[in-house]
Homo-oligomer: A and B are copies of this chain.
Amino acid sequence: MDTNAAFISEAITAAGAQVVWRTTVGDNVDLIVEAIARAMQRSELVIATGGLGPTNDDLTKKAICKYFKRQLVFHDDVLKKIEERFKARGVSMPAINQNQALLPQGAEFIENEIGSAVGIALAEDGSLFVALPGIPDEMRLMVSGWVAEQIRRRAGNFAIIHRRIKTTGIFESALYEKIADLVENRGGYQDGDKISVAFLPSWRGVEIRLTIASEDPSEGRRQLAELEARIAERIGDYIFGYDEETLPGTVGRLLKEKGATLAVAESCTGGLVGKLLTDTPGSSEYFVGGIIAYSNELKVGLLNVPEALLQKHGAVSEQCAIAMAEGARAKMGTTLAISVTGIAGPDGGTPDKPVGLVFIGLAAPGKSKVMEHKLGGGRERNRERSATLALDMVRRHLQGIE
């Protein structure tokens, strides 16, 4: 699972580079050398990640030495820094980490502020090769710092500008139809100064990504803003945010604006809605907590759902969703409370109540609402989509959208 490549693409595009190719190869020196050779022919900048660790299966340094025809040289100053890092954590350095002070001759090194593998940079025929550690936090600091600085220095005014419009609650094709005339012939890759438009669906919604490559960034931004405004006019109700904004973050911002607080009552999502809300730093300003009532006993005991209600309608019902939300709001003393109860699967479905049936309840001052959804996917998808629908129900309520 390559989470690094996604980060690097975003970060270096923001700095002014255009990503054209990405390759993954097995742990084999000859394959790595071949991948480096092809990439160095193709691009001015080549970034490799991973394989700088101390163990035997870390082969990137060997491949670098083979491709660039260098020797590994021992660097005493690098070893000292690695030893100090272990010391600061109160552990003695395993002997094997000495390997990480063996580095290709004549390379430039990129300091690692939080780990033991330094980055390695080598230039050849006008192209720059950079090898970074595979551990995400360490790689990210180097990309955002040293690598981005190299790109900005070369890119000058030229910039690739993105605007991401984030929607949820609507199919990709239905969304497309609403704005087809605005985005026609804008498919595909950057084409001169024209804005390109991509639709990126996921379980959490559809992202519309507008991109323009421009020597005049402020003019590029103006064009993006113009198209964005026309799109928002058509589909505004489905938009929960832009660029780095997240749905839980938007819910948090709206709650803060209204001085409101929120609690959760979760059954099938098992804590996921609370987890998503607390992904955002500072969420304690509006999120007080919640009750994970996975068993019926806890729905009764902690959320005051009447036993008779459970017997008559079952735990997966409109009535139970409302009782859970109202119980959570009363128990935790918040402005709003949201509840989720459903059948996540793969088991537990019946003809009447199939896998994917989910009820989401919202308790607010003076009124409660409930929504029924038929999702019908796998367990993970049903849980992720249920949590997203719950958060979006809070967003719509706070924005006065029906």
- On A, residues with C-beta under 8 Å from B are 1-3, 5-6, 19-29, 31, 53-59, 91, 94-97, 135, 137, 171-174, 176-177, 180, 183-189, 196-199, 201, 264, 266, 268-275, 277-279, 281-284, 287-295, 297-298, 301-302, 331-333, 344-347, 377-381, 383
| Interfacial chain B residues near A97, Cβ < 8 Å | 173
Contact call B288/A274, Cβ cutoff below 8 A: no
Contact call B29/A21, Cβ cutoff below 8 A: no
Residues A270 and B277 in contact in the complex (CB < 8 Å), given A5-B24, A27-B188, A176-B54: yes
- Cα of A119 to Cα of B286 in the assembled complex, Å: 46
Residues A188 and B57 in contact in the complex (CB < 8 Å), given A20-B25, A278-B270: yes
Contact call B94/A345, Cβ cutoff below 8 A: no
User: Could you list 16 further interchain pairs (A-B, Cβ under 8 angstroms) beyond the known A1-B6, A57-B198, A283-B294?
Assistant: A5-B24, A20-B25, A20-B26, A53-B173, A56-B186, A94-B171, A94-B174, A96-B176, A137-B377, A270-B277, A270-B283, A284-B294, A289-B298, A290-B294, A291-B302, A292-B292
Contact call A21/B20, Cβ cutoff below 8 A: no
Contact call B27/A183, Cβ cutoff below 8 A: no
| Interfacial chain B residues near A171, Cβ < 8 Å | 91, 94
| Interfacial chain B residues near A135, Cβ < 8 Å | 201
Cβ-defined partner of A95 (8 Å) among B28, B177, B282 = B177
Cβ-defined partner of A271 (8 Å) among B21, B274, B298 = B274
> Taking CB as reference atom, which chain B residue is nearest A116?
B173
Residues A173 and B290 in contact in the complex (CB < 8 Å), given A20-B31, A378-B137: no
Contact call B264/A27, Cβ cutoff below 8 A: no
Question: Ordered nearest first, which 5 A-B pairs have the shortest CB separation?
Answer: A271-B274, A270-B278, A271-B271, A56-B187, A28-B189
**By DSSP majority rule, is chain A's interface helix, strand, loop, or mixed?**
mixed
Cβ-defined partner of A55 (8 Å) among B54, B94, B173, B293 = B173
Residues A177 and B94 in contact in the complex (CB < 8 Å), given A21-B24, A291-B292: yes
Cβ-defined partner of A188 (8 Å) among B29, B290, B378 = B29
Query: Could you list some 21 contacts between A and B, CB below 8 A?
Result: A20-B31, A27-B187, A27-B188, A28-B189, A55-B187, A57-B197, A96-B173, A135-B201, A264-B271, A264-B292, A269-B278, A270-B274, A270-B275, A270-B279, A271-B271, A271-B292, A274-B292, A289-B292, A289-B294, A289-B298, A292-B292
- Cα of A377 to Cα of B141 in the assembled complex, Å: 12
| Interfacial chain B residues near A297, Cβ < 8 Å | 288, 333
> Taking CB as reference atom, which chain B residue is nearest A6?
B1
Cβ-defined partner of A278 (8 Å) among B3, B58, B271 = B271
- Cα of A22 to Cα of B26 in the assembled complex, Å: 9
Contact call B380/A279, Cβ cutoff below 8 A: yes
| Interfacial chain B residues near A288, Cβ < 8 Å | 294-295, 297-298
Contact call B173/A94, Cβ cutoff below 8 A: yes
| Interfacial chain B residues near A55, Cβ < 8 Å | 172-173, 176, 187, 199
- Cα of A95 to Cα of B177 in the assembled complex, Å: 8
Cβ-defined partner of A21 (8 Å) among B31, B196, B279, B281 = B31
